[in-house]
Structure 1
Amino acid sequence: MISLNARSRKWAVVFIAMLLLIAATIIVGMSVGSGALSINRLFQTLFGYGTMKENLVLFSIRLPRIAVTLLAGMALALSGAILQGITRNDLADPGIIGINSGAGVAISVFFLYAPLDPKSFAYMLPIVAFLGAIVTVALIYLFSYSRKTGLQPEKLVLVGIGFALALSGLMIVLISSTDYKKVDFIAQWLAGNIWGADWPFVWALLPWLVILLPITLYKSNVLNLLAMDEAVAIGAGVSINRSRVLLLGMAVAIAAAAVAVTGGIAFVGLMAPHIAKAIVGRRHQYYVPIAILMGGWLLLFADTIGRNLIDPAGIPAGIMVALIGGPYFLYLLLKK
């Protein structure tokens, strides 16, 4: 058995390695692209010695996109970690079980029928997405709950997949009834294009992560018990249904805030927690911080590669993640 000190040292090494990997990816992301900056010019611009064009490219275009992408990946990973804990299912992910689709329908309706440009509502979009997602999850929960057995985690995942497919179809119906300019926005959202790449969207997303991450870590012991067995959790004095509803609401909120500014990105919440558990174990105190860093890096890496792969528009981050996450999901499905 691994001693506590050995486990802590391993966790610290992995944590520092992830920070360094994220830092390296950020530097690459700031350097490459149209109007590439050399490393020397990059650091001079960061310290206030860049030209007007370099300042514009770095501080108004690349840095906000990097910040939004990193925070969104962290948020999706946190949501996935919570969902996998409360459902006891490593296949749970906010994109797979319908949370992203519920948020997407709400954002689509808001965009189609609100009289103003949604970019004017940077701080409102996460709330709109949360309302759509929470209604969706309430319906999923209702269909997955039984008076005799309570919430059935396996059924929750299956019902969620059904809702995700139905809501994706609803978004296509909404697209077919509007003009082409608005169709373009919704199509970008569905593809997982990082459209909210501006500083207001960073400040709109950051508070959700700052508030809900400490609460999740505080609830780590509850998540550990829920992930083991209901009888064990009840024996330890955990209120099963109340805890699940609270944690499910948190998972919905953080995922909705992320997809409000990045679009419908799936699989990050599936892969990041699973990889983190494989590295540092299944205790939430250990793997949640690693999963968050892993999720942020995965989405940042996917976006950095995607936006520089094909000129000029690149490939949406959601598609790049799906190219990796789809086979990984099938691997987990076959393994389980």
Structure 2
Amino acid sequence: MKPVSKKLSLLQKPQWVAMLLILLILATFVVGLGLGSSTVSFDRILPTLFGQGTFKDEFVLFSIRLPRILITLLAGMALALSGSILQGITRNELADPGIVGINSGAGVGVAIFFLFAPLEVGTFVYLLPVVAFASALLTATLIYLFAYKRGEGVQPLKMILTGVGFSTALSGIMIVLISSVDRVKVDFISTWLAGNIWGTDWPFVLALLPWLVVLVPYALFKSKALNLLSLGESSAVGAGVTVQKDRILLLLAAVALAASAVSVTGGIAFIGLMAPHIARGLVGPAHQRFMPISVLVGGWLLLLADTIGRNLGDSDGIAAGIVVAFIGAPYFLYLLLKKPS
């Protein structure tokens, strides 16, 4: 039995899990490049990527498939990391930026900006994540204030329930907004609400990438503080953590990651719920171990969902958010009903 247990422990090491996930991402990446309404032969993908393909193959890969795949991968990573942070600071493993209202807050901001602001093509793409962040930050601030109790700090369960209430209210605001505008703009908001990857050009990649470049290293750097926060305020204070400061900064990071992602992918929920759970199951509960794995899991899950969705149904396919929901909703119910061991 000892050799078996040793083998299992080796397979559970973060580096081996990370390598396996990277291989899954690369495999899904290649499949996603080849499949679609305009197929590209798999034996032509590498030559085309190195500049030896036909005009059609280069157009399909570089103008259509590659930016969409990168956007999906980056957004999944951002949502997964946001969920990991939220679950740590709320001490609630059901926390997710889509469930607690952050995505809805970002969506209302994006909708108002798109419907009523004078749009300029050159700045629209880069302003979207900023507008989404501002709107999501306002939502998160209100949720935080409602969940805060003087002398005791933030009540984690109250924060989750308040977020769910805000999410419902903001969804109602979205319906009111789209009921008073023209058909073209309604189509865009409907696409956003369904979680359809709509930001599929290179400028959207450039708009999203800086947020991850800054926030991913910061979140991973604060992973040990999250370990202490997850033990409770008294333990964290005893270990020298500045609880309120760290919680607010980490909440800002979680809001920014989620808002930047949904500004170009639409209202996608459950990635931030599932990815941390899967990562914890693979490498254990320590944040410094499972957060990097969660990032890879989230990127792969959304990439897989989008690859499946755009190759099903008619020429428009099925929104990635709907594919994720088919998996995520039952998973959420399972976690909700699961008895603690």
Instruction: Name 2:37's counterpart in structure 1.
Output: 34
* Cα distance in structure 2, aligned partners of 1:42 and 1:215: 35
Instruction: Name 1:268's counterpart in structure 2.
Output: 271
Instruction: Give aligned-pair identity as a percent.
Output: 64
Q: 1:333 aligned to 322, 336, 341, which one?
A: 336
Deviation at 1:115, TM superposition (A): 2.2
Instruction: Name 1:213's counterpart in structure 2.
Output: 216
- C-alpha contact 1:108 1:171 (8 A) present in aligned 2: yes
- Please list, as runs of the form range in 1=range in 2, the aligned pairs for 1:97-246 lying within 5 A after superposition: 97-116=100-119, 120-246=123-249
Deviation at 1:116, TM superposition (A): 2.0
Q: Does 1:49 align with 2:52?
A: yes
Instruction: Name 1:87's counterpart in structure 2.
Output: 90
CA RMSD of aligned residues (A): 1.6
> Which blocks of at least 5 consecutive residues in structure 1 are unaligned?
none
Cα distance per residue 1:119-167 (max 9 Å; x no partner):
8511110000000000000000010000031100110000000000000
* Cα distance in structure 2, aligned partners of 1:254 and 1:42: 31
- Match of 1:308, SS? coil
- C-alpha contact 2:12 2:283 (8 A) present in aligned 1: no
* Cα distance in structure 2, aligned partners of 1:9 and 1:21: 16
- C-alpha contact 2:102 2:259 (8 A) present in aligned 1: yes
- C-alpha contact 1:82 1:248 (8 A) present in aligned 2: yes
Deviation at 1:11, TM superposition (A): 1.2
Deviation at 1:239, TM superposition (A): 1.5
> How many residues of Structure 1 are paired with residues of Structure 2 in the alignment?
334
- Match of 2:126, SS? coil
Q: Does 1:295 align with 2:298?
A: yes
Deviation at 1:335, TM superposition (A): 1.2
Instruction: Name 2:280's counterpart in structure 1.
Output: 277
Deviation at 1:8, TM superposition (A): 9.2
Matching residue's letter, 1:13: W
Q: Which moved more, 1:109-118 or 1:277-286?
A: 109-118
* Cα distance in structure 2, aligned partners of 1:120 and 1:59: 22
**Inter-CA distance 246–81: structure 2 relative to 1 (3 Å threshold):** same
Please report the TM-score for the alignment, with normalisation by the length of structure 1: 0.97
Deviation at 1:12, TM superposition (A): 1.2
Instruction: Name 1:306's counterpart in structure 2.
Output: 309
* Cα distance in structure 2, aligned partners of 1:158 and 1:261: 27
Matching residue's letter, 2:180: S
- Match of 1:140, SS? helix
